[in-house]
Amino acid sequence: MRIFWQAGWAAAIGLGMCAGPVSGADAVAEALMDRVRLSMPDVPLEMEASIRVLDANGRSLKAVRAGARLAPEEKGRTARYTLYDAFGAVLEEMTVGLGGDRAEFAFARGDPPQPAALPDLFGPIAGSEISWMELSFSCFWWPDPKIVGTEKVANRWECQIVEIACPPEYQEPAGQAARAPANQGWSHIRLWVAPAYNAVVRGEAWRGGQAVKRFEVKSVKKLRQVYMIGDMEVRNLETGARARLKVGKMKMVSPDYTPEELEQFNAPIEW
């Protein structure tokens, strides 16, 4: 069984783990994250989605249409994410090259999209709690992961907890945090990886010695033995505000699959 985290569209810490980021890496964590990255399908994929902005009580405030096109490359992936207005015109577009230890981001605005300066990658997208950093899951490629504990998630997934320090190029310069505290980068991230599925089922972003944001997979979709994120919630742990990424129609852009095989994307899944 393989699970594909749209590269990517994936609990309080106990176990006596330290609050600060862990330096260095270990071979088990490196191998585990390699398997997560290798679990992606090897054909181009297009999908429709929506980003729903929720308040602390889960009440829907607004929804933004989104789409993605994911393409495998020799040593990684290229992903293009697009936000649309209510009439289908392009608002923003982010292209991310994934591979090696660092992602390459290119941003555009307007319809047709025109190159523009990069926004804050940790800042909100369309007024939601989701940032480009979460939407791209580029942290799966960050170097020097380290296993810091284990935990069973949702009473069904036995997980290894992997911690990765945020690369220096993504951290805010000294003094900038005071000017824009809501848009600070992270010190490190923790990922709950289920080795049985080679999948990340939960993640937390940390800053200032505490978790400030959590993302959690709520449902999945399936094509043959490939499992896809269907619904993911992102919660701001400081304010309680939430956002939901819901994936709708999906299509493999490949002549190697029949229409009948592609219909399996919408097959019901139970975990």
**Residue-range domain boundaries for the chain:** 2-262
- pLDDT tens digit sequence for 40-71: 766 788 889 999 998 888 888 899 999 999 88
CATH of the domain spanning 2-262: 2.50.20.10
Q: Would you say 5 and 36 are in contact if contact means Cβ atoms under 8 Å apart? A: yes
pLDDT at site 37? 86
Distance of alpha carbon 248 from alpha carbon 231, whole angstroms: 9
Mean pLDDT of the chain: 80
Q: Would you say 53 and 128 are in contact if contact means Cβ atoms under 8 Å apart? A: yes
- Asked if pLDDT for residue 19 goes beyond 60, the answer is no
Q: Which residue has the higher pLDDT, 116 or 185?
A: 116
- Asked if pLDDT for residue 16 goes beyond 50, the answer is no
- Asked if pLDDT for residue 198 goes beyond 50, the answer is yes
Give the DSSP letter of residue 135. Answer: H
Which parts of the chain fold into alpha helices (H)? Answer: 27-38, 132-136, 176-179, 259-262
Lookup: tokens for 204: 């937390």
Q: Would you say 161 and 190 are in contact if contact means Cβ atoms under 8 Å apart? A: yes
- pLDDT tens digit sequence for 89-133: 999 999 999 887 778 999 999 999 999 999 999 999 988 999 999
- pLDDT tens digit sequence for 223-269: 555 567 888 999 999 999 999 999 888 777 765 666 666 565 545 44
Question: Which three-class secondary structure state does DSSP give residue 148?
Answer: strand
**Strand 226-236 relative to strand 199-207: parallel, antiparallel, unpaired?**
unpaired
Distance of alpha carbon 149 from alpha carbon 59, whole angstroms: 34
* pLDDT (average), residues 136-144: 90
Q: Which residue has the higher pLDDT, 19 or 211?
A: 211
pLDDT at site 229? 80
pLDDT at site 180? 43
Give, for 133, the enclosing helix (H) or strand (E).
helix 132-136
Residue with tokens 């959590």: 214
Predicted structure pTM score: 0.80
- Asked if pLDDT for residue 160 goes beyond 60, the answer is yes
- By percentage, how much of the chain surpasses pLDDT 90? 48
Question: Which three-class secondary structure state does DSSP give residue 138?
Answer: helix
pLDDT at site 12? 26
pLDDT at site 174? 40
- By percentage, how much of the chain surpasses pLDDT 70? 76
pLDDT at site 211? 96
pLDDT at site 207? 92
pLDDT at site 89? 96
